[in-house]
């Protein structure tokens, strides 16, 4: 009896719970988004971009239209519509053999009118000259009749041309003119020194084709008969344009046709002649970051030495990003002497250990042309060690007819046979993302499996599309297996996603809730999969150009050779001090500066090579001894008097901690300081600039900026477009969109514990306040401006319920948190590399500004800076001047620019580096849009002074925030409570120190 | 006569008696006689003195100065101690926290180790080895505390928060390590979890060295239950290990700084889990006040010695 009563009770409780749950669900249904008015160029462009057709849609629509047949229509670039010419565009009378050409700057749009005789499909060629400028590729957007025909032409990439500067070294050639050796410069221990890279521009041809690499042939465009306009909008880099040619579509001949042609022409196998060409003797490369290197992984690399590092290969393995990104190419030149024309094979020794179980692809240009269709898809199969083989497409080993005279071969990174697959998966990811966002809006990030969300009714199309996507992914997986001949982890990734989608499509009510979280991580996996396949890393040792049928040399050393080589290396390792990255030059009259850095080993090696290549020549009297040390070494070393002369990578607070105790030198009075001052934004100098003795006393500067970081606001363009929202530019606008975002289950982040102090500072400075009062002797936490800033800041955590702790990158990539404020460079790098699935779907902009009563908007943003400092000991050693010269050289625009580029080359897109040098920062490979935002942010940066005892501030600000969050303290009181504590700490520090420090009066 | 006696003395030298010399003379003589033993000890003592005794002495010296590691120290007498005891609110919080930590984790972890060791010792050897490893593992690597950070993450995706929210027990995520209510208890739990360390191993070792026949003899002598067996046979046999374990857990319980830093950050919110160790670290590294920090270290040193003496006294009562 009692038992059944209990059962009834339970049943009742459960049913009440169910009913209330359903009721809640009804209330939680999405509210229609209200669209806010006003425009914002960043989102406007992003939204426009989202509405573009893709190439496959364009091709499906126009592919069946007739091709244009007839003579090429050549437009002289100089005939551009004069009214559209941007500032700085000019007609050059003569450039490298061509006359009357048009120089286009890195901004603005230029339009040409062209009359075409018939409606049809045209291909477009450009003849351009990559005029010397920054290190990145040329980027343009193509518009036809004012419209972007499809999204791919928004970022057309034209490469530049770089080569090693061999003017200083001896190049040995044989009697035919082929390079047989280069005697590189040696450093003191006998290692080859890499020649520097210089730009060697010449007139080049570019056929408008897919910059994403998914579509292997040239693009075609449908033009109606009559007048049309073609315009190029600059995204990056200036260029010089000679002609734009509209022409008939071309398709390559097949290899069979090529062979038949050769046979018909009576060409036969060449005899008795072969060329052995070291791959490191390239004649040109597409980027300054592709350079010859040393590789010690095999005993028979040519050349090789167990003792020294000889330059012997070119390219990059899986750890590096040189010659592995789409469109990057290397070119080699060789000469076929008289009487030796004929059919040759081109063999090569290569290492492809990056793309496991698969091949990497290259496109071959022979004398500037792809000789036949199959040459688009050269394959280099995976092997754990070195391999040799003749150029092939996975099936046929090709024979080429080489006439007498000079020839060039160019190998360009492309996706080859994988292009279709990658394109397909990429397309699927985009679609899955969109569906994911739809579901997210219905049921939030963590759907309740027992709730009825009626997915079938609300998003029937998306549900059925999931089934289709599953089938498409299965198909990709099958093709992958065919290509690689085995199922691998990469096919497993795809099949997992397909299986989940299939389940969700079949039984959406139950399975979506169940698998939703899983789906989120799977989308990420697919993105990573695409990224992995997009890396086409390959290292080349040499080429053998020999008559067809010739034997290739051995691929790798035999056991005894390897063993002997390893033994030698082992013993040489006792004599070669590779760990110390010391400079070799020593002698009288030479000042040796000891420089310490805490950057990682890779970074340090780049710094070392930059010093060797550039600093040594410019400053023959200074030798730099660069050492990589662990953080925390500086204090004990300084104490015991064995510290460095120059310490790099010091935080602002450490720089000042050392400075106020007299451990570092004032850099203000060194020769060249004024020039150095201009390299950085003023705000970067603020933390380490103090007035001595009194607020208007002598100014001392205790550190030279190295990196400058700041917070920006990241947003998801797709979600903002979907909701019809503009990205807020003021806090009022920001607050206005919060209800809309939260009604759609979206979260907003305004800074985690590490970012909070800097975001709070931003609020203070936007309010027109300062962190310190009384010239830096007291904290301003008892002033209205600061307290108001703190109240506004805390309101986001209390009134708007922003999370205090969150994993921003993950929530951003899944769309849960489409808007957040966070550290700029870290997040940017992270999204570029680890969230490829949302590529192009996000942007960043300045933190919103505060509108003042007089209508002005204050957009100040607090920055954090790291410094290079000169230690006190340098003065007694007499190395301080030299140390300053080193820092000045190092922080110069050119070197910082090179350093930033080398980092990207080494670490890939994740290697973006927040250099404090403004020129160098702007010159990094940002898109036009990004650079606009960055310039805008830089204009508004403010520096937060560091005064003795300032370490205590962040601690108490965090306490105050938590007191408000945990115990509902009144924000202003919570903060004001700590004024006394902080001030007394400042006072103690002033008492302890021998000198007085103030914020200088500006 | 006198010549005779002198001669007699020379013939049969009278054995030197302990009472003829001062203590120092006697020690010196004994040392000369056993110089080989001292020679053998020398390397250890050199290292011990240079790296342990000297720093302690130095730190005591620095505690009387203002010293920032960069400029020369400045002698200020007992100013640091005066300020420490009379004008440092946070130090009082730190002392309170340290004692809460020590009083809870010290004895609990000690008895936890002892009883766990005792129970495990009853298991068959192979299983015992596996279980020992499982219990010992947490203290092997200090970084293991990271998993607690993930479990009690303040993000709504932290395990604890996520489960509690799913069960509708809470509405918003709890900031476990940023909330005074939670910081201390959680740190203590994690500290206990990692505390089954060296003392636990030594207890297991100690248990295994006790000869079986003693238990048999005890049974004959009229031991009635396992508790009596533990008290009269097992523990007295393990006195050395017990002492070792006690010293270890006292040292450990006063030194739980790192775990708290890993979990609650440094400094913890409102100094909720700020221990003397943290206070020392705060002044020694963040504030560049090595003199003051040395004063804190000296106080901590004295507290620890006192605690050890106390425990020694208590342990001498075992088995009585």
Q: What distance in Å separates the CA atoms of residue A418 and residue A558, rounded to the nearest whole number?
A: 34
Q: What distance in Å separates the CA atoms of residue B135 and residue A619, rounded to the nearest whole number?
A: 62
Number of residues that this document lists for chain B: 320
CATH of the domain at B197: 1.10.3720.10
Q: State the pLDDT confidence band at A236, using cuts at 50, 70 and 90.
A: confident
| Residue extents of the structural domains in chain A | 53-160+201-247, 255-415+536-561, 420-534, 581-706+865-941, 762-805+949-996
Reported ipTM exceeds the 0.85 cut: no
Residues of chain B with C-beta less than 8 angstroms from the C-beta of A974? none
A202 and A286 Cβ atoms separated by less than 8 Å:
no
| pLDDT value of position A734 | 94
Whether residue B215 is contained in a domain is answered as: yes
What are the backbone dihedrals phi and psi of residue B42, each rounded to the nearest 5 degrees, phi first?
-50, -50
> pLDDT at residue A11 above 60?
no
Chosen from A17, A633, A966, A978 to mutate, greatest number of chain B CBs within 10 A:
A966
What's domain A581-706+865-941's architecture?
3-Layer(aba) Sandwich (3.40)
A406 and A335 Cβ atoms separated by less than 8 Å:
yes
Higher-scoring residue by pLDDT: A992, A771 = A771
Nearest to B83 by CA among B288, B283, B266, B286: B283
Mean pLDDT score, B171-181: 84
Q: State the pLDDT confidence band at A43, using cuts at 50, 70 and 90.
A: low
Residues of chain A with C-beta less than 8 angstroms from the C-beta of B175? 804-805, 962, 965-966
Higher-scoring residue by pLDDT: A986, A291 = A986
Higher-scoring residue by pLDDT: A133, A957 = A957
Chain A stretch 927-986, residues whose beta carbon is closer than 8 A to a beta carbon of chain B: 951, 955, 958-959, 962-963, 965-966
Report the alpha-carbon angle A967-A972-A973, nearest 5: 60
The residues, any chain, with a CB within 8 Å of residue A900's CB and separated by 6 or more, are A912, A913, A915, A920, A921, A923, A924
**Residue of chain B whose Cα is closest to the Cα of A992:** B66
- Quickly tell me which residue has 């000891």 as its tokens: A594
Whether residue B76 is contained in a domain is answered as: no
CB contact under 8 A, B179 and A806: no
Any bridge partners for residue A365, and if so which? A410
H/E stretch holding B166 reads: helix B159-166
CATH entry, A255-415+536-561, from 1.10.3720.10, 2.60.120.260, 1.10.357.10, 3.20.20.70: 2.60.120.260
CA distances from A146 to A142, A743, A845 (A): 9, 38, 27
Whether residue B53 is contained in a domain is answered as: no
A104 and A242 Cβ atoms separated by less than 8 Å:
no
| pLDDT value of position A38 | 38
Q: What are the tokens at B17? A: 């008696």
Residues of chain B with C-beta less than 8 angstroms from the C-beta of A965? 175, 178
| pLDDT value of position A652 | 92
pTM for the structure as a whole? 0.79
CB contact under 8 A, B175 and A806: no
Task: Give the distance from CA A867 to its chain's centroid.
Answer: 24
Q: What distance in Å separates the CA atoms of residue A496 and residue A522, rounded to the nearest whole number?
A: 8
| pLDDT value of position A606 | 85
Chain A stretch 789-808, residues whose beta carbon is closer than 8 A to a beta carbon of chain B: 801, 803-807
Find the CB nearest B71 among A661, A753, A963: A661
> pLDDT at residue A474 above 90?
yes
How many A/B residue pairs have CB atoms within 8 Å?
Answer: 58
Whether residue B93 is contained in a domain is answered as: yes
| pLDDT value of position A573 | 81
**Residue of chain A whose Cα is closest to the Cα of B180:** A966
CB contact under 8 A, B270 and A959: yes
Nearest to A946 by CA among A769, A662, A666, A688: A688
- Structurally, chain B folds into a number of domains equal to 1
Whether residue B186 is contained in a domain is answered as: yes
Whether residue B78 is contained in a domain is answered as: no
Nearest to A276 by CA among A258, A255, A303, A253: A303
Whether residue B181 is contained in a domain is answered as: yes
A985 and A780 Cβ atoms separated by less than 8 Å:
no
Q: Does A516 touch chain B (CB under 8 A)?
A: no
Q: What distance in Å separates the CA atoms of residue A314 and residue A538, rounded to the nearest whole number?
A: 9
What are the backbone dihedrals phi and psi of residue A213, each rounded to the nearest 5 degrees, phi first?
80, 5
A790 and A975 Cβ atoms separated by less than 8 Å:
yes
CA distance B70 to chain A (A): 5
CA distances from B79 to A655, B64, B94, B267, B278 (A): 29, 7, 19, 25, 21
- Taking only the tens place, the pLDDT of each residue in A735-747 is 999 999 988 888 8
CB contact under 8 A, B154 and A661: no
* Helical residues (DSSP H) of A485-552, grouped into ranges: 489-506, 508-534
> pLDDT at residue A256 above 90?
yes
User: What SS3 class is residue A133?
Assistant: coil
Query: Chain B residues with CB-CB distance to A under 8 A?
Result: 66, 68-71, 153-157, 166, 172-173, 175, 178-180, 265, 267, 269-270, 286-289
CA distances from A1000 to A117, A696, A948, B50 (A): 71, 6, 14, 47
| pLDDT value of position A24 | 39
Nearest to B87 by CA among A572, A367, A985, A384: A985
Whether residue B160 is contained in a domain is answered as: yes
Q: What distance in Å separates the CA atoms of residue A923 and residue A902, rounded to the nearest whole number?
A: 13
> pLDDT at residue A305 above 80?
yes
The residues, any chain, with a CB within 8 Å of residue A544's CB and separated by 6 or more, are A274, A275, A276, A277, A346, A347, A348, A349, A550, A552, A553
Residue B183 belongs to domain spanning: 88-315
Residues of chain A with C-beta less than 8 angstroms from the C-beta of B269? 958-959, 962
Least confidently predicted of A52-61, A478-487, A891-900: A478-487
Three-state secondary structure of B116-162: HHHHHHCCCHHHHHHHHHHHHHHHHCHHHHHHHHHHCCCCCCCHHHH
Q: Could you count the other beta carbons within 10 Å of the beta carbon of residue A908?
A: 20
Residue A575 DSSP label: T
| pLDDT value of position A761 | 94
Three-state secondary structure of A937-992: HHHCEEECCCCCCCHHHHHHHHHHHHHHHHHCCCHHHHHHCCHHHHHHHHHHHHHH
> pLDDT at residue B254 above 50?
yes
Residues of chain A with C-beta less than 8 angstroms from the C-beta of B287? 951
CB contact under 8 A, A962 and B270: yes
Chosen from B66, B67, B68 to mutate, greatest number of chain A CBs within 10 A:
B68
CB contact under 8 A, B175 and A807: no
| pLDDT value of position A471 | 93
Q: State the pLDDT confidence band at B30, using cuts at 50, 70 and 90.
A: confident
What are the backbone dihedrals phi and psi of residue A310, each rounded to the nearest 5 degrees, phi first?
-100, 145
CB contact under 8 A, B70 and A663: yes
Mean pLDDT score, A756-774: 92
Region A53-160+201-247: CATH code: 2.60.120.260
- Taking only the tens place, the pLDDT of each residue in A121-159 is 999 999 999 988 777 788 899 999 988 899 889 889 999
Shared fold status for A255-415+536-561 and A581-706+865-941: no
Q: Does A578 touch chain B (CB under 8 A)?
A: no
CB contact under 8 A, B66 and A806: no
CA distance B316 to chain A (A): 44
Residues of chain B with C-beta less than 8 angstroms from the C-beta of A801? 172
What are the backbone dihedrals phi and psi of residue A800, each rounded to the nearest 5 degrees, phi first?
-95, 0
Q: State the pLDDT confidence band at A869, using cuts at 50, 70 and 90.
A: very high
> pLDDT at residue A592 above 60?
yes
Mean pLDDT score, A470-483: 89
- Quickly tell me which residue has 């994690």 as its tokens: B190
Q: What b-and-e string marks burial along A150-187, b requiring 16 or more CB atoms within 10 Å of the CB?
A: bbbbbbbbbbbbbbbeeeeeeeeeeeeebbeebebeeb
Q: What are the tokens at A350? A: 């290569």
Chain A stretch 639-698, residues whose beta carbon is closer than 8 A to a beta carbon of chain B: 639, 657-658, 661-663
Nearest to A869 by CA among A698, A653, A624: A653
């Amino acid at each position: 009896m009692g038992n059944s009563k209990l059962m009834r009770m339970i049943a009742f409780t459960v049913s009440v719970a169910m009913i209330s749950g359903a009721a809640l669900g009804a209330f939680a249904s999405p509210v229609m988004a209200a669209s806010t008015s006003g425009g914002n160029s960043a989102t406007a462009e992003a939204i426009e971009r989202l509405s573009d057709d893709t190439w496959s849609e364009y091709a499906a629509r126009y592919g069946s239209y007739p091709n244009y047949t007839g003579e090429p229509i050549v437009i002289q670039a100089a005939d551009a519509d004069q009214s559209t010419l941007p500032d700085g565009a000019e007609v050059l009378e003569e450039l490298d053999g061509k006359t009357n050409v048009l120089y286009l700057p890195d901004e603005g749009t230029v339009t040409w009118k062209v009359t075409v005789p018939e409606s049809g499909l045209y291909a477009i060629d450009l003849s351009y000259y990559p005029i010397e400028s920054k290190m990145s590729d040329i980027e343009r957007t193509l518009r036809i009749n004012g419209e972007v025909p499809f999204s791919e032409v928004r970022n057309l990439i034209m490469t530049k041309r770089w080569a090693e500067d061999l003017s200083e070294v001896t190049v040995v050639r044989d009697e035919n003119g082929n390079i047989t050796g280069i005697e590189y410069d040696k450093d003191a221990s006998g290692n080859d020194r890499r020649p520097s890279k210089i730009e060697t521009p010449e007139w080049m041809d570019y056929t408008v084709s897919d910059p994403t690499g998914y579509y292997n042939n040239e693009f075609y465009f449908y033009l109606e008969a009559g007048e049309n306009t073609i315009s190029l909008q600059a995204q990056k880099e200036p260029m010089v344009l000679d002609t734009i040619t509209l022409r008939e579509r071309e398709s390559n001949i097949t290899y069979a046709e090529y062979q038949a042609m050769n046979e018909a022409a009576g060409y036969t196998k060449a005899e008795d002649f072969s060329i052995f060409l070291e791959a490191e003797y390239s004649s040109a490369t597409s980027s300054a970051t592709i350079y010859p290197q040393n590789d010690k992984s095999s005993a028979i690399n040519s050349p090789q030495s167990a003792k020294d590092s000889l330059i012997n290969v070119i390219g990059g393995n899986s750890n590096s990003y040189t010659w592995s990104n789409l469109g990057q190419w290397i070119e080699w030149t060789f000469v076929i002497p008289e009487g030796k024309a004929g059919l040759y094979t081109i063999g090569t020794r290569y290492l492809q250990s990056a793309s496991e179980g698969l091949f990497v692809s290259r496109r071959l240009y022979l004398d500037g042309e792809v000789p036949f269709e199959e040459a688009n898809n050269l394959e280099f199969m995976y092997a754990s060690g070195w391999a040799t083989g003749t150029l092939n497409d996975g099936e046929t080993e090709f024979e080429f007819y080489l006439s007498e005279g000079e020839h060039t071969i160019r190998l360009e990174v492309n996706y080859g046979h994988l292009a279709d697959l990658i394109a397909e998966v990429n397309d699927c990811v985009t679609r899955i993302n969109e569906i994911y966002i739809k579901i997210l809006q219905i049921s939030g990030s963590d759907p309740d499996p027992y709730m009825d969300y009626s997915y079938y009714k609300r998003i029937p199309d998306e549900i059925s599309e999931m089934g289709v996507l599953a089938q498409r992914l299965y198909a990709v997986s099958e093709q992958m297996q065919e290509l690689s001949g085995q199922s691998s982890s990469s096919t497993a990734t795809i099949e997992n996603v397909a299986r989940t989608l299939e389940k969700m499509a079949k039984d959406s009510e139950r399975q979506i809730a169940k698998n939703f979280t899983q789906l989120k991580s799977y989308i990420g996996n697919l993105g990573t999969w695409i990224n992995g396949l997009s890396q086409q890393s390959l290292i080349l040792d040499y080429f053998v150009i020999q008559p067809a049928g010739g034997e290739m040399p051995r691929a790798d050393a035999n056991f005894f050779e390897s063993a002997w080589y390893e033994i030698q290396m082992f013993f040489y390792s006792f004599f070669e001090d590779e760990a110390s990255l010391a400079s070799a030059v020593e002698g009288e009259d030479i000042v040796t500066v000891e420089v310490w850095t805490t950057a990682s080993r890779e970074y340090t090696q780049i710094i070392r090579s930059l010093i060797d290549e550039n600093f040594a020549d410019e400053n023959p009297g200074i030798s730099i001894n660069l050492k990589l040390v662990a953080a925390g070494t500086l204090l004990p070393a300084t104490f015991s008097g064995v510290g460095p002369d120059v310490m790099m990578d010091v935080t602002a607070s450490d720089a000042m901690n050392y400075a106020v105790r007299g451990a570092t030198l004032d850099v203000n009075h060194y020769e060249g300081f004024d020039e150095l001052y201009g390299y950085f934004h003023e705000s970067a100098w603020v933390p380490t600039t103090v007035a001595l003795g009194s607020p208007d006393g002598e100014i001392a500067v205790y550190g030279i900026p190295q990196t400058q970081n700041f917070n920006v606001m990241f947003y998801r363009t797709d979600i903002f477009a979907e909701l019809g929202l503009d990205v807020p530019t003021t806090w009022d606008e920001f607050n206005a969109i919060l209800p809309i975002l939260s009604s759609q289950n979206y979260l907003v982040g305004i800074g985690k514990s590490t970012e909070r102090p800097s975001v709070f500072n931003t609020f203070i400075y936007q309010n027109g306040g300062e962190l310190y009062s009384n010239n830096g002797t007291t904290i301003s936490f008892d002033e209205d401006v600061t307290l108001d800033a703190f109240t506004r800041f805390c309101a986001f955590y209390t009134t708007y319920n922003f999370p205090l702790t969150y994993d921003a990158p993950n929530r951003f990539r899944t769309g849960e948190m489409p808007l957040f404020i966070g550290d700029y460079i870290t997040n940017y790098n992270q999204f570029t590399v680890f969230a490829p699935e949302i590529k192009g779907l996000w942007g960043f902009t300045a933190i919103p500004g505060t509108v003042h009563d007089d209508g002005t908007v204050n957009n100040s943003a607090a920055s954090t800076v790291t410094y290079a400092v000169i230690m006190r000991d340098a003065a007694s050693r007499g190395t301080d001047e030299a140390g300053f010269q080193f820092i000045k050289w190092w922080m110069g625009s050119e070197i910082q620019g090179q350093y930033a580029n080398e980092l990207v080359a080494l670490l890939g897109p994740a290697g973006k580096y927040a250099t404090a040098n403004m020129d160098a920062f702007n010159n990094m490979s940002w898109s036009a849009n990004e650079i606009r935002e960055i310039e805008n942010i830089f204009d508004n940066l403010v520096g937060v002074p560091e005064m003795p005892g300032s370490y205590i501030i962040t601690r108490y600000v965090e306490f105050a925030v938590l007191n408000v969050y945990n115990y509902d303290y009144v924000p202003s009181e919570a903060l004001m409570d700590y004024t006394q504590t902080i001030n007394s700490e400042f006072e103690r520090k002033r008492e302890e120190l021998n000198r007085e420090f103030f914020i200088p009066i500006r | 006569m006198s010549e005779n006696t002198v001669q007699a003395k020379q013939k049969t030298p009278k054995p030197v008696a302990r009472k003829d010399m001062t203590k120092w003379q006697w020690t010196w003589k004994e040392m000369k006689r056993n110089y080989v033993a001292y020679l053998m000890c020398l390397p250890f003592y050199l290292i011990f003195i240079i790296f342990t005794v000297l720093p302690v002495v130095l730190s005591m010296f620095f505690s009387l100065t203002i010293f920032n590691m960069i400029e020369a120290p400045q002698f200020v007498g007992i100013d640091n101690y005066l300020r420490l005891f009379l004008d440092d609110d946070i130090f009082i919080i730190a002392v309170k926290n340290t004692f809460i930590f020590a009083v809870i984790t010290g004895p609990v972890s000690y008895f936890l180790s002892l009883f766990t060791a005792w129970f495990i010792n009853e298991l068959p050897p192979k299983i015992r080895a596996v279980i020992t490893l499982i219990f010992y593992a947490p203290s092997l690597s200090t970084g293991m505390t990271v998993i607690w950070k993930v479990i009690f993450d303040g993000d709504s995706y932290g395990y604890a928060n996520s489960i509690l929210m799913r069960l509708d027990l809470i509405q918003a995520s709890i900031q476990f390590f940023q909330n005074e209510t939670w910081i201390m208890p959680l740190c203590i739990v994690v500290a206990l979890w990692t505390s089954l360390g060296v003392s636990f191993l030594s207890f297991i070792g100690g248990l295994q060295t006790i000869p079986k026949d003693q238990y048999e003899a005890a049974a004959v002598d009229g031991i009635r239950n396992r508790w009596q067996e533990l008290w009269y046979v097992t523990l007295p046999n393990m006195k050395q290990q017990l002492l070792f374990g006690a010293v270890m857990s006292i040292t450990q319980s006063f030194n739980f700084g790192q775990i708290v830093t890993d979990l609650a950050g440094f400094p913890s919110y409102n100094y909720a889990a700020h221990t003397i160790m943290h206070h020392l670290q705060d002044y020694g590294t963040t504030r560049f006040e090595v003199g003051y920090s040395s004063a804190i270290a000296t106080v901590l040193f004295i507290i620890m010695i006192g605690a050890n003496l106390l425990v020694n006294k208590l342990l001498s009562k075992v088995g009585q």
